[in-house]
Structure 1
Amino acid sequence: MTTAPPRPAGDAVAPVPVSGTRSGNLVELLEESARAHGRLDRTAYIDEDGEHSFRSVYEGAGRAAAAFAARGLGPGSRILIALPDGIDFVRAFLGAVRIGAVAIPVNSMFHPDEMARAGDIAEPAAVVAAPEFDGLFTAPVLTARSLSRDDGAAVPPYADCAPHTPAFAAFTSGTTGGPKLCFHTHADAEVLDRAAGEAIGVREDDVCYSVPRMNFAYGLGNSLFFPLLRGATTVLTGRRLGPADCLALIARHGVSVYYSQPTFFAHMLAHPDAEGVLGRLRVAVVAGEVLPQALERRLRHIMGERLLNVYGTTEIGHALLANGAGSYREFTLGRVLAPYRLRVVDEEGRPVAAGCEGRLELAGPTIGPGVARGSEAPLRTAPEEWYSTSDAATVDADGFVRVHGRLDDVEIVGGINVHPTEIEDRLMEHPAVKEAAVCAVRRDDGVSVLRAFTVLRAGVDAAAAQEVRQELLAACRTTLTWYKVPEDVFFVTSLPRNHVGKLLRRTVRAQAADGSFRP
């Protein structure tokens, strides 16, 4: 099934290889690539504070590295980075990797309870975050300001790193439990660039913007690895933009490479300016969840093969499938990108025939299965080993892949994995709720949202039920991160269960989709 990757959408400058640097350090690779191609004084980033050159990016990373080193941090130290997208995040991340530490981005908008849990999982030696997070962690909290001060401290040299030395780790929801950490190495960014970066075809004259944040592996490639390796300019926004603001940003900055999830694209298309703004993009990359056929038709009408539908996982580090310019087939995810391989297997692990549905398995050089704690030895799958996903897929005779959805219980909303049990636990804390089930549904406009279905205890009348609905939604809003809050709560007489009482989640999804739940 392995095929040549799609051609890039335009000429792209090849990065300087890791093997050509003195230390094998990823940050040296990035800085030497900028120097070798004469980019140091060109604009690398634009954020709320203005424009930042490639030179200022690496000088700032050096100051952050000096601040980390002055606090005794160095090779192998785990540094949790809880900052919004912006130049401070970039410098902190690169500063950590420069000294041989492991940078671990985390969502800066997490609810405090979730932020504390992230700290428990990562077990960091230090945390970079806003001052108000001080006290949530056992590790010391450093602010972005403390990393940016030029106090005369010597900038440490690039730490000597082998290709397999861990450089960063990304949180994943996992498929059978809580969040885990997937570790990636100093060599991985270049491999990911040769696959997904080449398929996207980022160029020096591009302006990039990614709706997915850099605390995700996908957003990290979009906004950091690919543009720094290829010399593009990237726009960063600390706050989460709505569709209208995002369209205005694309127009204002002349964004040419734009990354988002299907749900957000669906929101954008409701705006009267969407077709004109999106139609001027050179490349639009969509990922994070299955792209509905109706939405793909609308986007293809605007952008044709300039729409690149990709698939990847946190364990991979970015994308390994791409459906766009040079390798396109409607309603698929395209074909696998070298150097990755894939196959589809049955329940016994045997490859299935072309066109038959089964479990998707992947192989390649960047796969890092998650671990439950940062102090555990990072897992790494050998390039020839198969890594089993939780996705149902088919591959046709020409190698074009269709992914049909998850095989496990994880819901995907806006490209983010959500464990429904966490939300159900919150709902069932209410004394009036007997049972609860949460699933993602797709509205007629193509937007994925969470919907909760609850069975109330006996004696709760209709008037009280409306008050319970508001209390349940309010409880979710105050205790959960925004994307985990259901759009609405529906009351039903029963939930589908098997003979031993286990909730039948596939039936829940099906009844939610066709409206057959009995009120």
Structure 2
Amino acid sequence: MNLSHFLRQTARRHGQEIGFVWGDLTLTWVELDRRVDAMAAALTAKGIAKGDRILVQSKNCHQMFESMFACFRIGAVWVPTNYRQTSDEVAYLAQASGASAMICHCDFPDHAAAVREAVPGIRFVISIGRSEIGEDYDDLVERHMGEAVSPAPVLHDDPCWFFFTSGTTGRPKAAVLTHGQMAFVITNHLCDLMPGTTHADASLVVAPLSHGAGVHQLVQVARGAKTVLLSGDRFDVNEAWALVARWRITNMFTVPTIVKMLTEHPSIDAHDHSSLRYVIYAGAPMYREDQKHALKKLGKVLVQYFGLGEVTGNITVLPPALHELDDGDDVKIGTCGYERTGMQVSIQDDQGREVRSGATGEICVCGPAVFAGYYDNPEANEKAFRNGWFRTGDLGHMDQEGFLYITGRASDMYISGGSNVYPREIEEKVLTHPAIAEVAVLGVPDKTWGEVGVAVCVLRPDAALNERELLGWMDGKVARYKLPKRVFFWEALPRSAYGKITKKNIRAELEARGYLPLDQKIEASA
């Protein structure tokens, strides 16, 4: 089935109900379907055919949302960027994907120019909003309104979406997602993440539609649940809670750092959020102290899942019933859940052999949610797959009941004096200190021990703490060899364009501030 048929099905069943909300704009499902038909007709008239790749550089808006279904409908491949990326980065994505056309928000003329210069094969650019970039998106929709387009016939393995990785260990790679794979992912999300979702539900978008939030909204369309966007591209916590109250939001997809911001902001107590049933977080494990705080504020509505873009979020799930506030004997603290329906996890050693229960190894996965491979990148594919298993690059272990625990990225682990050190364990301990809001621990070279730990901390408002006090407090709480050699206190941790705290960015910032290498003389860490 062509994925765009989900929109047509919903338009037939719930046509006059509101399907999309953005500021003062509301669109019914019928209006959305007609607009998608019009853009699909416009793309076809411009020569776009099945298999062509359409690069989309845009902040969240209804046109971006529609462009996904317009591409799917004609069998083209949707290639969204993260709008926070630079023009050079987006030009690289255009080259790497073999894009033949571009849809670009009018706020990004430099990006459109860079793509045109880097990729001579770009046939045209469509501008979201009137600009010199190219023809106006809404003018094209108006011109082709009323033209019905039948979904292009597709096979299970036909690509529909190039999902670019965040590139934390190099340049981004295009993970090929297919119509059949994504149909399974949608079904799996409805089964495991938000069971019982119907057209009476509503979903708030607080992340770019270019990645996980876009997958999440596909799921909403399949069940006729309305999508609500924040009015601007800046994350406004008060507005988010106001929208939850106004539209009786029942689910949202986010990441742990956003959950933390939402639940620690005073506006959470000013708005009614009793409609929430599923607050789904992914992208990174949530630290236990943050998890407890969110549970106190929201109740048992948290849903955690673990899954990379290459597996479209489908590896494990920890549903609301297993999110406990108290650390009882029967509570599995630190787990990211059990295997998703239809998926299988294997913890493997360096030779691809499955390790015993409780032993640490690389988390590998197989099942229908695994992507079709990286586009035009045989070397990356060879590294990513082994004996039919996709290698996530994450380290972890499984208990005897099949619950998975993530230790960290394989690239995050460091060896100090011959002993393996997993930063996440130390970070969890540091976060139990009442003065610490955020922390990242990473290994750096050391002449004596090979590698040692460095902790970068962010204090809570009005809190006071120094390096000596924190290290003294940690002494006895973790083994001596796990104690960081240095602690730095910053106002904020650097984040990637995807909103994630990445060790690569922190290491670069440490170097930029002159703190690395550690054997050079540096001033106090405050």
TM-score (norm. length: structure 1)? 0.72
Per-residue Cα deviation, 1:246-295 (whole angstroms, up to 9, x for no partner): 22332232212122211122222332232565555211111111210101
Question: Which residue number corresponds to residue 204 of structure 1?
Answer: 199
Question: Which residue number corresponds to residue 334 of structure 1?
Answer: 337
Q: Choose from 112, 118, 123 the match for 1:134.
A: 112
Question: Which residue number corresponds to residue 295 of structure 1?
Answer: 290
Secondary structure of the corresponding residue to residue 135 of structure 1: helix
**Where do 1:247-266 residues align within 5 Å?**
247-266=241-260
C-alpha spacing 1:440/1:190, structure 2 compared with 1 (3 Å): farther
C-alpha spacing 1:220/1:228, structure 2 compared with 1 (3 Å): same
Per-residue Cα deviation, 1:126-168 (whole angstroms, up to 9, x for no partner): 0000342432213121123334223468444321111111111
Letter paired with 1:294: E
Secondary structure of the corresponding residue to residue 402 of structure 2: coil
In 2, distance between residues paired with 1:291 and 1:442? 16
C-alpha spacing 1:302/1:342, structure 2 compared with 1 (3 Å): same
Larger CA deviation: 346-355 vs 376-385: 376-385
Letter paired with 1:177: G
C-alpha spacing 1:171/1:299, structure 2 compared with 1 (3 Å): same
Question: Which residue number corresponds to residue 20 of structure 2?
Answer: 45
Question: Which residue number corresponds to residue 281 of structure 1?
Answer: 276
C-alpha spacing 1:493/1:151, structure 2 compared with 1 (3 Å): closer
**Where do 1:50-65 residues align within 5 Å?**
50-65=25-40
Question: Which residue number corresponds to residue 405 of structure 1?
Answer: 408
Question: Which residue number corresponds to residue 464 of structure 1?
Answer: none
Contact 1:69 1:99 in 2 (8 A): yes
Per-residue Cα deviation, 1:452-478 (whole angstroms, up to 9, x for no partner): xxxxxxxxxxxxxxxxxxxxx9xx99x
C-alpha spacing 1:286/1:105, structure 2 compared with 1 (3 Å): same
Pairwise CA distance, 1:106: 0.9
Contact 2:52 2:100 in 1 (8 A): yes
Pairwise CA distance, 1:406: 1.0
Contact 1:183 1:378 in 2 (8 A): no
In 2, distance between residues paired with 1:373 and 1:240? 35
In 2, distance between residues paired with 1:398 and 1:70? 55
C-alpha spacing 1:309/1:445, structure 2 compared with 1 (3 Å): farther
C-alpha spacing 1:129/1:496, structure 2 compared with 1 (3 Å): same
In 1, distance between residues paired with 2:24 and 2:352? 52
In 2, distance between residues paired with 1:53 and 1:122? 33
Per-residue Cα deviation, 1:423-458 (whole angstroms, up to 9, x for no partner): xxxxxxxxxxxxxx9999563559xxxxxxxxxxxx
Q: Which runs of 5+ in 2 are unaligned?
A: 129-135, 324-331, 414-422, 425-451, 462-490
**Where do 1:432-443 residues align within 5 Å?**
441=456, 443=458
TM-score (norm. length: structure 2)? 0.71
In 1, distance between residues paired with 2:262 and 2:92? 33
Secondary structure of the corresponding residue to residue 129 of structure 1: strand
Kindly indicate whether structure 1 or structure 2 has the higher relative contact order, using CA contacts under 8 Å at least 6 residues apart: 1
C-alpha spacing 1:55/1:280, structure 2 compared with 1 (3 Å): closer
Pairwise CA distance, 1:305: 3.2
Pairwise CA distance, 1:234: 0.9
Question: Are positions 1:27 and 2:49 aligned together?
Answer: no
Q: Which runs of 5+ in 1 are unaligned?
A: 1-23, 413-436, 447-472, 498-514
In 2, distance between residues paired with 1:32 and 1:46? 19
* Count of residues in correspondence between the two structures: 425
Contact 1:356 1:395 in 2 (8 A): yes
Contact 2:38 2:145 in 1 (8 A): no
Question: Which residue number corresponds to residue 444 of structure 2?
Answer: none
**Where do 1:216-365 residues align within 5 Å?**
216=211, 218-223=212-217, 225-237=218-230, 238-274=232-268, 277=272, 280-326=275-321, 329-365=332-368
In 1, distance between residues paired with 2:18 and 2:363? 40
Pairwise CA distance, 1:322: 1.1
In 2, distance between residues paired with 1:482 and 1:350? 35
Letter paired with 1:120: Q
In 2, distance between residues paired with 1:438 and 1:183? 37
Pairwise CA distance, 1:189: 2.4
Larger CA deviation: 62-71 vs 241-250: 241-250
Per-residue Cα deviation, 1:285-315 (whole angstroms, up to 9, x for no partner): 1111121010111122233432111111100
Secondary structure of the corresponding residue to residue 136 of structure 1: helix
C-alpha spacing 1:124/1:116, structure 2 compared with 1 (3 Å): same
Letter paired with 2:59: P
Contact 1:61 1:92 in 2 (8 A): yes
Question: Which residue number corresponds to residue 160 of structure 2?
Answer: 167
Secondary structure of the corresponding residue to residue 187 of structure 1: helix
Question: Which residue number corresponds to residue 455 of structure 1?
Answer: none
C-alpha RMSD of the superposition: 3.9
Letter paired with 1:129: C
Contact 1:162 1:186 in 2 (8 A): yes
Question: Which residue number corresponds to residue 495 of structure 1?
Answer: 517
In 2, distance between residues paired with 1:248 and 1:360? 39
**Where do 1:112-151 residues align within 5 Å?**
112-131=87-106, 132=109, 133-137=111-115, 138=119, 139=122, 140-144=124-128, 145-146=136-137, 147-151=140-144
Secondary structure of the corresponding residue to residue 134 of structure 1: helix
Question: Which residue number corresponds to residue 93 of structure 1?
Answer: 68
Q: Percent identity?
A: 22
C-alpha spacing 1:481/1:214, structure 2 compared with 1 (3 Å): closer
